[in-house]
Amino acid sequence: MALSEVPSENVSKTPIFLMATAGVRLLPEPQQASLLKGVCKFLQMNTKFHLPDCGERVQVISGETEGLYGWIATNYLLGALDRPKEHVHGKGHHTYGFLDMGGASAQIAFAPNTTEAERHANDLKLVRMRRLDGSSVEYKVFTATWLGFGANKARLRYIQSLVESYDGPVDEIPDPCMPKGLRSYLGENSGLGKSIIGKTLVGTGAFDECLKRTYPLLRKDAPCEDHPCLLNGQHVPAIDFEVNHFIGVSEYWHTTHGVFGKEQQAYDLASYQQKVLAFCSREWASIESDIVKRKKSAAQKIQDAQEACFKASWLINVLYEGIGIPRLGLGLSSRPSFNTTYDKPGNGRQDLLNSFQPIDTVEGVEVSWTLGKMVLYASGQISPHLSSLPVGFGSNVASKTPSDFEHAGSLPLTSDSYFDSEDSDIDNDNTFGNQTLYSILALMFVALLVVFFLQRPDRSRRIQNIWRRRQSSRKPRSGLSLTNKIFGRGTANYERILEQGEATRYELDDYSEGIIGSDSSDGSHANRYHGPGVPKVVLGRLEEGQQPSVMDRTGLVLRTESRERLAPNLQMLNAGRRSRATSPTRLKSPLMTPTQAE
């Protein structure tokens, strides 16, 4: 796919990164190292992309780094970094929180309000980027990860606990997190322990029971060494949901808009729960029949439907019982969604002010942590102004570069170093232009001589007489060279023409190009050959013409335009006013909670 986007002549100058996440983080370190070494060797042997350092470009990243990249990507795409006035959340806050859930892990990243940022300064990451003018902008972001809390790993933990809850040798185990009548055999490839292999799960479609069964998987009873904590004893600064609005991607999007939702419909908790209840209580045979009728390739849809009830239960518990998203949105929203590929920013701006909103794409661009890495890399290519602090992220240390600082991995671009091939092409063009200029100036000089000699017969005779007298005289005449005699009173003018020609050779490349090929330029052939007035016209052009801007030179224009395309739109402002520390009281859904009394 990359080769279809990158011009062939730029492939060798285009950096390539491969960053592994939770699936590889679960492997033992020796296996990780072996895998990365093999991947790097493959890339170097089979691609021409720029890969100077495998250790930096091919690596396993932490969950915290993954979340931080996701936060950058989300706020970049939504315009919160460079257009803060369009994203006013109150209390001087304008960025969005980021929630990501994959198969193996889940991440959270957000900028706490001012009070919490001061209280938990040591827990925050300092993210430093550059605006297009070279000035630095910094954000203080909290990021955390939960390995094993992704949808697939959570499902395995759920099955383990479900089977263990039944005593004795039971081959068929009722599963409230599957539609009625659905049977799922647990084979050797299920990823479960030997004691569970060979058993069969039988769906009962009891979604309220499913919520209760999945709630303990949050591990909210785990010891919390640094309050407050969310899932699994993980410390997280208090979230102010009046200003912290979260965007969910990956499973947050697919679980809410796959089986249960439409892409055009904004997420709403109450309507979502109603759809889940209706679906999960249906007979599996009926669900499967409907899928086969509507879909030509139904295999993936059937698998999604089999897993949908558990994933919905897990998502609801993580969001509202784990993270603490307020249970608002108790009516079906009629507003258009911001979540579709064809919606433009602004159509669903009000949806983004909800405490939680799942998103897949923004104007056709997928919201993914990988984009965040590229935005940071591009930001590092902007030349610094005033401050020389590097682009990247690390411990929250103001105006310094901490020891754990992770650099963007890029160097500032300069007009002299950007794209060597472009410079080479430009130099070749300039060399050709200079050679052509020399020829033109020589021809002009000869033409002027011819015009001067042939313009008036009496001038020719007068020059011949001067030459004869010079030959007949033995006395040297100081200062009367052949050149001086020919040009007479016009000497200064012609010398100035030659001086300007020298200046043109080194400074006015664009003017020489206009002489050579532009039919509309003032120096075209149609304008230059006038007869007696030629010297005066040429002199006037050179004296009166303005010194051209260096930005008119083809080379710099190309480099500038390329740089503008690569540089991210990073006109950013810091948030900063104080706001309150505590989260607002959360309303409970009138429909269900996993801990409600039976």
Domain boundaries, the chain: 1-60, 61-407, 422-552
pLDDT tens column, 253-270 = 999 999 987 776 788 899
- Residue the block writes with tokens 């608002």: 328
Distance CA 263, CA 405 (A): 39
The DSSP symbol for 232 reads: G
Would you call 513 a catalytic residue per the annotation?
no
Least Cα distance to 413 among 446, 381, 369 occurs for 381
pLDDT at 338 over 90: no
- CA 59 to the chain's CA centroid: 19
- pLDDT tens, residue by residue, 363-406: 999 999 999 999 999 999 999 988 788 999 999 987 788 889 99
pLDDT at 256: 95
Of the two residues 337 and 252, the one the predictor is more confident about is: 252
CA distances (Å), origin 456, targets 444, 448, 460:
19, 13, 7
Query: Considering the chain, what is the average pLDDT of its residues?
Result: 75
Question: What is the SS3 assignment for 376?
Answer: helix
Q: Is 342 exposed, middle or buried (0-12, 13-18, 19+ CB in 10 A)?
A: exposed
| CA trace torsion 376, 378, 383, 387 (10° rounding) | -10
**CB crowding 64-81: b at 16 or more within 10 Å, else e:** bbbbbbbbbbbbbbbbbb
The C-alpha atoms of residue 209 and residue 310 are separated, in whole angstroms, by: 11
191 is in an annotated binding site: no
The answer to whether 103 is a known ligand-binding residue is yes
- The angle subtended at Cα 203 by Cα 201 and Cα 208, nearest 5°, is 120
Q: Is the pLDDT of residue 550 over 60?
A: no
44 is in an annotated binding site: no
Task: Specify the range with the lowest mean pLDDT, choosing from 11-20, 222-231, 399-408, 535-544.
Answer: 535-544
pTM of the model: 0.68
* 234 annotated as a binding-site residue: no
pLDDT for 97: 97
Question: Is there a binding annotation on residue 575?
Answer: no
Average pLDDT value for residue range 445-473 = 55
Q: What is the pLDDT of residues 179-210, one digit of tens each?
A: 999 999 999 888 888 888 899 999 999 999 99
Q: Largest alpha-carbon pair distance within the chain?
A: 136
Q: Spell out the CATH class of 61-407.
A: alpha beta
How crowded is the C-beta side of 293, counted as CA atoms within 13 Å? 6
- Asked if 430 and 415 touch (Cβ cutoff 8 Å), the reply is no
Strands 246-250, 97-101: pairing kind: parallel
Among 66, 116, 288, 321, the one annotated catalytic: 66
